[in-house]
Amino acid sequence: MGRRRFAVAVAGLVFLAGGAFAAVRHRPLTFLVGDGPYYAATAVSILHDHDLDLRNQLRGGLVVHGAQIALGADGAWYPKHPILMPLVALPFLAVLGMDGLLVFNLAVLGSLAAAMALFARRHAPAAAAAAAVALLLVGTFLRGYVYNLSPDLFATLLFLLGALALGAGRIGRAGLLFGAAVAAKFLLVVLLPWVALATCARHGARCALRLALGVSPAFALLLALNASLFGSPWVTSYDRGVSVHAEGEQIITHRAQFDGAVLAGLEGQLFDRTHGLLPTAPAILLALPGLALLWRRDRGEAIVTIGIVLTLLFVLAPYRGWSASHYGNRFLMPALALLAPALALACEQLGEMTGRRRPIPIERPVPS
């Protein structure tokens, strides 16, 4: 089976299986949990009001929604969260209504599964790559985001597509995709130094510059949007939340929320029963020997993978809201996706060991 057909088969199977799971759980709008209602409200506002002011969509005042909106320079309630996913999801909303956003999430999930399979397929056979994807979807907290509208799935898909493009030598396309991933999830900007390092090591400094040029349109658009909505290109939507007290309203910024204890944050991210990696994503334990195998085959990719995992863990460790997920740590989704090759190599090794241990059948003599 060719790689394209393999990817289509994985995407279709995951979309259908996820759709069946979602159909069983479906009740109107119950898939909108966490930040989902605000992404949905943004899409509705763009489609029907043709603007980003959420005051027509949200009821309850700033006491209820102040921490989840961004107060504009003109007093409008703009989205705190990035608007790229609502924009991309508009056709689904326009054709299928609110349930179209669930279908969009299933399409993203299927596409991410295909991207992980292709990413793993570069180092392992198709069966091992498919097994790795199955482990990631069933044996990690990713399963908790099937019935959802997840910006983290969407941003992870864009980031992994960028990694695939980079591996194929399509530097300009990779830059555009990495820029889109940051536009979909601002946190991913901390991973760009690793992307630049990988590009420079594999393709040279000139290609790293081309990558930066590919990323730059997304940054330019984000800066222009900030200037338009909040009066300065350097003021983001995460700097314009509102906290309502008896004394009045106060502007709050997420920049001030990275002040927690690093060791406590690391311990929680690893061992917390509801959000820690080990309780909610035990399948990644198989990635540890897989990383050793990847190290032997492609030391550069292994270093970048380990670096990205550790970067996310340490950047999030002091963040007060690192556990702001209904299950698992959604901020670590890119790390899970990048572990697909390591998991595939471990699955391949297990398959070979199992094959070697099979007893050799003894042929009985044919009676004369």
| pLDDT for position 363 | 52
The 8 Å CB, 24+ separation contacts for 19-26 are 19/103, 19/106, 21/146, 21/147, 22/102, 22/106, 22/146, 22/147, 25/147, 26/99, 26/102, 26/147
Helix (H, G, I), strand (E, B) or coil at 53: coil
At 251, which helix (H) or strand (E)? strand 248-252
Name which of 254, 238, 249, 253 is nearest 315 in CA terms.
254
Question: For the chain, what are the domain ranges?
Answer: 3-351
Query: Per residue of the chain (368 residues), what is the pLDDT tens digit?
Result: 688 899 999 999 999 999 999 999 999 999 999 999 999 999 999 999 999 999 999 998 899 999 999 999 999 999 999 999 999 999 999 999 999 999 999 999 999 999 999 999 999 999 999 999 999 999 999 999 999 999 999 999 999 999 999 999 999 999 999 999 999 999 999 999 999 999 999 999 999 999 999 999 999 999 999 999 999 999 999 999 999 887 778 999 999 999 999 999 999 999 999 999 999 999 999 999 999 999 999 999 999 999 999 999 999 999 999 999 999 999 999 999 999 999 999 999 998 887 765 554 555 555 54
| pLDDT for position 364 | 52
Name which of 318, 335, 319 is nearest 281 in CA terms.
335
Please classify residue 155 by burial: count the beta carbons closer than 10 Å to its beta carbon, then call 0-12 exposed, 13-18 middle and 19+ buried.
buried
Angle, alpha carbons 233-238-244 (nearest 5°)? 125
Name which of 166, 187, 189 is nearest 118 in CA terms.
166
Tokens of 63: 């006491």
Name which of 305, 310, 307 is nearest 341 in CA terms.
305
Give φ, ψ of 169 to 5 degrees: 80, 10
Q: What is the DSSP letter of 241?
A: E
